[in-house]
Every structure is written in structure tokens, then in C-alpha cells.
Structure 1
Amino acid sequence: MARRRQLETPSPEALKEIEAGIDRDLARSPGLRPPIADVVADAAQHASPLPQADRESIARDKADAERLRDAEGKGLVAVEIPLEEITADALNRDRIVMDEEELQELMTSISVNGLRLPIEVFEPLNPEEAGKYALVSGYRRLTALRRLNALSGERFRTIPAFIRAPGTIANAMVAMIEENEIRSGLSQYERGRAAASAVHDGVFPTVDEAVAVLFQNASKAKRSKIRSFALIHEELGDMLSHATGLNERQCLRLASALRCGGADRLRAALEQAAGRSAVEEWEAVLPVIEDSEGAPQDLSRGGRPKTGQKVERSRRTQVANGITIEREFGPAGYAIRFSGAEVTAELVDAVMDNVRHLLENG
């Protein structure tokens, strides 16, 4: 049986001799040396490592550039846009009245301190019609800058803006309305007008859908009222000159009259009155509204059906000749009801005379 040879670990001197031999062989035969080895050796020979502070600065610049690109992609970086490149009415604006005194104050603030909050715009799909940029929010700020530009010329030629990507016109309108509601609430009529106009422009098929999307954060009761305000704009928008001056109660009463079929009479009243203020317009339509408040509503026009208010009656009291009297209380106030075969108009008139005499003489 052959005897196994026991392996021994080479000494450090032997290892050095082996490495030296390999290096001599590679030097005599360049083809045996991997090309990457030459590249690495040359790079290492000519490398000039930067100081630690410089390497950290480069790394920070790279990270900042990545964050900037990410923020720009999300529309979070404001850019200066020439005023003439922005179309203010590409979207049907929700706000139709601007307080002149407040606008003058805004112009003064911008003139002294600059514009603190950029506007929001988006790039429309039809720039030949809607312009390079269409306004989403910041109508008052844009108006103020344009007035200042007209007054001072070169100083106010651009405006800082966030470029958004709303995706759809509906989303752009939602952003516009939400911004206005947060900064300075819309009037009751302006809310309804925004919904009705969105349907007219083809953004939504119905007022119900427009209100559900544009005012999605509003309560169910508030959305119901906005549908009533939209009805006012649909029927009377071309006749009302001071609609934004109507309060919520007045708008609801006006919408109720429209649902009762009073549109023609209301339009005739407004045309005849030619009101110069919200008060005059309201006084012109009020008789029609009061006349229609007892009439049945057309439920196809929306709104809640009127519910009859309960009339309270007292216990009947029997008097002479088989006549009974009964006290009633309801929406119109108190009444005394007479019943029985002997009740006549002359009897009721006599009772009323006695009641009048009682009240006049204490």
C-alpha cells in the first residue's frame, strides 16, 4: 500500500519567492495579464483624490439636484411667467365680483413687499385657444399684477407661479373653488353659478354631478342648497345684476318660487323693475315669491317637497243653538272656528264686531 505524503504549509519566504516568480512570468508574457489590471493600475497611478470637504460638497450638490428635479416634477417649484402668457378666463371663473377696496390694498401690498404667494397655472391641451398657461387659482393676484404693470411698465412683467398638472378640467375647477372657499368664501349665488356653468361648458353632464364633484367636501345639506342656487343662475342669471348680494335665505325662497313655476313672472318683474341694487331687485321679485309660497312645487326641478305644518286645535266648546267654537293655531297664527247648522255669515260678523269692540276698549 502506497504511503500518503503529508502536506506542509509553505513558509513566508517561500510565498514571497512564488509571488516574485509569477510577476516575472507575467512581465515576460504580457498576453497573460488581464486588460482590466492595466486600466486599474493606470487609474491608480494618475488618481488625485479630492479632499474630504470637497467630496462632501459634491455629494450634497448631487442630492440637492435630485430633490430639485423631484420637486419640479411635482409642481412644487415656482417659476416666473410673463403676464401675457397667462389666460385668466380659460376656466369659467367661480368668483364674479371683486371688492375694489380690497384689490387696491392688495396692489399696495405687492408694490411694497412683493407677491408673497405664487398663483397656480396649468398647460392646456389647446394652447392656441387657451394660451400657453391657463389660470387655476390667484385671479385677484393676477389682476393686481396686471394693473401694476399697466401703471409702472417694466417692473411687474412676470408673476411667480406653480405649474400644476390637474389631469382634467374638472380637477382644475375643483382646485380653483377650494382655493377661493379657503381664502375668501364665495357668495351663495357664485357657488350655484360655478356648478351651472360647468354643466354649460360640458365639463359635467348634470348639475347634480357638478355639485357632487366641485363641492365634494361640503355637507349633504350644503350641496342641496348649492343645487338650488344653480337653478337661480339657469333661470335668472341673465336678468339678475346684483345676484351676489342675495343672502342664503333669499336665494332659497327664490329657488322655491322657480320650482313652483314662477320663472316667467319673476323675469317679467325683474325686467320691469331694472333694479339698481340687490335691495331693489329683491323688492321687485318679493311679491311673486310670496304669491308662490303657497303653491305646490314641481318636484322635477329638485328641492325638498314642502311638508304641511301641523295645526294645533283646542277642545271644542258647545254653546247655544248647537253651535261649537274651537281655537286653532298654525303657521298663519290663531283662529277661532265656528261650526254648526245655525252658523251664518251674519253671526260671524256680529262676533267679529264684538271682538273688535273688546280689543279697542281694553
Structure 2
Amino acid sequence: MTKTTERIALVSPSPGTQRHLLAHRYGRPGARPKAYLQASIHADETPAMLVAHHLMKLLDEADAEGAIAGEIILVPVANPIGLSQSLNDHLLGRHEASGGGNFNRSWPDLYPTLPTRVAGKLGRDPARNIDAVRSALREIAGELQPGNEFSSLRGALTRLAVDADIVLDMHCDDEALMHLYLIPQHWPEARDLSAEIGSRATLLAADSGGHSFDETFSTPWTRLAAAVGPETPVPPACLAATIEYRGQADTGDEINRPDAQALFRFLQRRGLIAGDPGPLPKPLCDATSLDATEVLRSPVAGIVCYRRALGAKVAKGDVIAEILNPLAEDPSQQRLSLAAGTDGFLMTRRQHKMVRPGNSIGKIVGTEPLASRQGYLLED
């Protein structure tokens, strides 16, 4: 058996308190391909942790059979800081309570010094260029300094993932269908991932604007390739993706065990685990541009009353929801309608139905880029 478990201590935030990560490693260190998977950097997104639990069982069995062909790192709980944050029995796992912001934003930018570090080391051989870039990225990640507990978490996770061929960041949404985020350079290469997990929407953006975890590892390759030009081939050698395992309520063995089995088959298809994964499932969607996905926001405070179900096809102008003001004295004036601004289908809805002005109440996946969707493309 090859499995080892590493306990990684984070910077202590206060006397008497210290948290840690557990990283489970399978296969020979340095073997290729390498996959890194982590669950719930947004600590309240519990389906991802249950998927990781079931995946670890499958990996343990494969390891016992000598079937691990590459290197796999699994972090089943990526955010012990967020797991410790609760108020009146409500877990607050999306934002760092000490002012660090969204746990999946503002990850380290590994690119700025990358061109200088690889200068004179790149040529016409893509494989040698990949090795040179990975070596430089490991150096950059190794130099990250932990100024506080949150930055030590970021640094530790970055170092585990930085040289992987595949990085899968596992999340969930509020109420949602299964969906997937990628950069365009990995489509249609990642069609097998989309099909295997049963993605209902696969959303592409070269840069979503938030410096999220997955783009920390995918975009340095594409930015460097653009800088050096086609005469010096730099492939997009890290397939990094964010997988959204439906909504927060979709947590259960009967749901998430098959999700883990799908990931296991994907790893088999990519050569990390020996064995026959069987035929690839039929894809449930094609990829669309993230800037064609409308984020519906409420302009007022009130109670969301939905008029369309998840997955419903909608046309521009269709009423998706109404916002009810429970204090309006005239019942005929209590509701404000929110209409779709594009054709598509309703991918997400809000779990907590009381909203404030500016809150997102859903996302509509369309096919035509929207003028309103430029620059920062994430919800926050």
C-alpha cells in the first residue's frame, strides 16, 4: 500500500488554538499523472466533503489492490477555519470572520514572476517546457509566506496542488443543478469530466475575475503561453475545475456515493487508477460561456416566491420570481416581479428566501454573451 497521511499545521490565530489540514496521498510521489482534489473550501458546502469521504474509501480499496498508477492527493476538509465559525448554531463557512473575505477569492497569483523564472529554459519541446514551468511554479509556491492563519491555509493548499495535472475543487451552490467551471482552453478536452459527473451546465471563462482557487493553477499556463507565443509551445498543462455538487441540501450517502464513483471512473480514464471505467456516459450539456449566464438580483428587500423550478426552460421576459414585501399595506402592491433577461434555463435558486437589495436569487444559463456580464463574473 502506498497511502500516507500528512498533517499540516496552520498558523495559530490565538493562544491555545491551532488548526490543521489532513492530506491523504496515494501512489508514488512524483508519478504522473498527478491529481489533486479538495472539498469544501467554502466550509458550509457539505456535499463536497461527503463526496470526498466516499472517494477516499474507493481510493483505499484501489491502493490495497495496487491499482494506483499516478499520484493522487485528497484533502477531504479544505477549510478547518471556516468549520470553526458559527453563530447561534449557524455555520458561517463562506467568508473568513476576521476580515479575510470570501474563502474562494483572492488566491495567490503565481504568474507575475513566472516569465522571468523560465526565461532561457523554454524551447520548442512542449514536454520540456511543461517540466520547466512546473519547477518554477513549485518555487513560487514554496516562497509564499504565511502572515496569518488564512494565508497559511492558502499557502499549504497551493503547495499541494501547484504541480498537478488535474486540480478538482469541490463545492456546492444554494439550490442548484450539478455544474462545472473551466477555462476555455480545457474544452473540449474536459468533456469526459463533464459527462462523467453528470454536469447540467459547463461554464467557461478565461478569467472569472475573482482569483478563485482553480484559476490559480490553470491561468498561469495560458497567460505564459500568450506571452511567449506559438513558437514556444506551452500547453495548458493543469486541468483545473470547480465542481458544484448541486445544492446544500443535496447531502446524503445515496446522492454523494455515486458522485464519488463518478470521480473514481474519471481518474481511471485519465490514467491515475488501473481498471476499466466502462463506457463514458452521454453528456448532458455542451459548454457555454460564463458571460452568457445571467445572475438575477433582487432590487428590494423581501421574501422570494419562485415561479420557475430548477432546470425550467425560460425565455427573456418570463417571470422567474416575485419579491414580496410583507409590510406593504396594500396587498395588490406587495409583489415585485423579476424577469429573465435572457433565454436559457434556471440553474440555481436561493435557499434562504428572505433577501436584501442586491442579493442573487438565481442564475439563468444562456448561450448569448450579456453586456452586463463583463469583468467580475462571480456571485460573491
The structure with the greater share of residues assigned to strand is 2
The structure with the greater share of residues assigned to helix is 1
TM-score (norm 1): 0.25
Give the greater-gyration-radius structure (CA): 1
By relative contact order (CA 8 Å, sep 6+), the higher-ranking structure is 2
TM-score (norm 2): 0.24
